[in-house]
């Protein structure tokens, strides 16, 4: 299978053709979900292609492995270089980057101790995650029948592949029911996050987002909090219930793939007047200017390839 998406994938230190980037069927991670991964975006800027918050993503990748109890066999600098090489060698100006670390084939059964750790980095063009018009018109979401992780069942500060079965089930349920995306509640019924996004609500000019307990420590989440506070908007990290989402003036999702996507309907209830709200739009403007290198206040977020 050749791919129109990109030519080469970095695997354990070498760039290999897309269709040769394969693993053995007895790979531990394939059976038990023990991989850790990242999603990173690279944007075209006036200074050339630049990766958004590259070091923060690489740090999270290393933390994810550390939480699961294993070590990625490269330095952070080597991984940063490998990501830039993968982008350059594929000739990609703008892309999504997917580093994935996984445990190899040396063992049978659950015990991960002593199994080799591998790393791959793929990159491909990935446009708007939630549909072409989503960034402007917003999306329709449902509250999932699946709960988000309990922090003593899954260690949510690790972006581990195994946890994503929960996201896949929620996403599938939402799509089959005619929605674009799901909102998951935590095991106590508080709003947690989307299947692959952090969530924010706006009420009376102030912003709320759930604290980092059962949700991923989103890098976009943190960036948008900084943009909001710099613009003089209050942001509180606190729990809230699904009915507070229904009566919010504005709701939006953040994520590397989703960027900053307005939510215009939840469980068939319109949010505000059912369109992207003014605070969401203002945050999008500043955020998109920042990631495209057009706002010097956030120049520290970009790493030129
Ligand atoms: N929560 C979850 C569960 C999540 O997967 C993501 C990223 C976020 C929040 C936002 O985190 P950040 O990207 O650091 O702002 N989801 C990744 C995977 C998407 C996919 O379909 O795969 C992403 O956006 O890259």
* pLDDT tens per residue, range 24-40: 999 999 999 999 999 99
Query: What distance in angstroms lies between residue 35's CA and the mean position of ligand 1's atoms?
Result: 15
Q: Return the SS3 of 31.
A: helix
Mean pLDDT of the chain: 96
Nearest-angstrom CA–CA distance, 122 and 118: 13
Question: Is position 208 annotated as part of the catalytic site?
Answer: no
Burial class (CB in 10 A: 0-12, 13-18, 19+), 287: buried
Burial class (CB in 10 A: 0-12, 13-18, 19+), 248: buried
221 in ligand 1 pocket by Cβ < 6 Å? yes
pLDDT value, residue 3: 60
Residues pairing with 196 in the sheet: none
218 in ligand 1 pocket by Cβ < 6 Å? yes
* pLDDT tens per residue, range 210-249: 999 999 999 999 999 999 999 999 999 999 999 999 999 9
Distance of CA 228 to the CA centre of its chain: 19
Burial class (CB in 10 A: 0-12, 13-18, 19+), 244: middle
Residue nearest to atom 8 of ligand 1 (CA): 197
pLDDT value, residue 1: 47
Give the DSSP letter of residue 131: -
Q: Which residues of 163-198 are buried (b: 16+ CB within 10 A; e: fewer)?
A: bbebbebbbebbeeeebbbbbbbbeeebbbbbbbbb
Give the DSSP letter of residue 296: G
Which band of pLDDT confidence, cut at 50, 70 and 90, is reported for residue 277? very high
- Show Cβ contacts of residue 126 under 8 Å, excluding neighbours closer than 6 positions: 41, 95, 96, 257
Marked catalytic residue, from 159, 171, 176, 270: 159
Nearest-angstrom CA–CA distance, 203 and 99: 37
The closest alpha carbon to 37, from 4, 68, 77, belongs to 68
* pLDDT tens per residue, range 76-131: 999 999 999 999 999 999 999 999 999 999 989 999 999 999 999 999 999 888 88
Nearest-angstrom CA–CA distance, 9 and 93: 16
Please give the C-alpha separations between residue 264 and each of 30, 100, 183, 235, in angstroms, as whole numbers: 37, 33, 13, 20
- The atom of ligand 1 lying closest to the CA of 57 is 14
38 in ligand 1 pocket by Cβ < 6 Å? no
Q: Which residues of 124-144 are buried (b: 16+ CB within 10 A; e: fewer)?
A: bebeebbeeebbeebbbbbbb
Q: Are strands 250-255 and 259-266 parallel, antiparallel or unpaired?
A: antiparallel
Nearest-angstrom CA–CA distance, 190 and 94: 36
* pLDDT tens per residue, range 186-219: 999 999 999 999 999 999 999 999 999 999 999 9
């Amino acid at each position: 299978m050749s791919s129109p998406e990109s030519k080469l994938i970095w695997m354990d230190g070498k760039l290999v053709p897309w269709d040769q980037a394969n693993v053995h069927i007895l790979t531990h991670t394939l059976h038990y979900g023990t991989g850790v991964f990242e999603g990173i975006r690279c944007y075209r800027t006036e200074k050339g292609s630049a990766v958004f918050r590259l070091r923060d993503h690489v740090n999270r990748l290393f933390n994810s492995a550390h939480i699961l109890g294993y070590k990625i066999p490269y330095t952070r600098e080597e991984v940063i270089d490998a990501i830039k090489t993968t982008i350059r060698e594929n000739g990609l100006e703008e892309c999504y980057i997917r580093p994935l670390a996984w445990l190899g084939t040396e063992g049978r059964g659950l015990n991960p101790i002593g199994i080799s750790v591998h790393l791959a980095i793929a990159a491909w063009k990935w446009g708007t995650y939630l549909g072409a018009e989503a960034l402007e018109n917003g999306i329709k979401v449902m509250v999932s029948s699946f709960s988000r992780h309990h922090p003593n069942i899954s260690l949510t500060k690790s972006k581990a592949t195994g946890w994503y079965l929960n996201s896949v089930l929620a996403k599938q349920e939402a799509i089959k029911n005619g929605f674009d995306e799901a909102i998951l509640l935590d095991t106590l019924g508080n709003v947690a996050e989307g299947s692959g996004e952090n969530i924010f609500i706006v009420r009376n000019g102030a912003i709320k987002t759930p604290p980092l307990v059962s949700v991923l420590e989103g890098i976009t989440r943190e960036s948008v909090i900084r943009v909001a506070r710099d613009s003089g908007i209050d942001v509180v990290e606190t729990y809230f219930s699904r009915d507070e989402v229904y009566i919010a003036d504005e709701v939006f999702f953040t994520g590397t793939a989703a960027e900053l996507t307005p939510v215009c309907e939840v469980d068939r209830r319109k949010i505000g007047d059912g369109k992207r709200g003014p605070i969401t739009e203002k945050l999008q403007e500043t955020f998109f200017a920042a990631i495209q290198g057009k706002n010097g206040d956030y120049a520290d977020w970009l790493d030129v390839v």
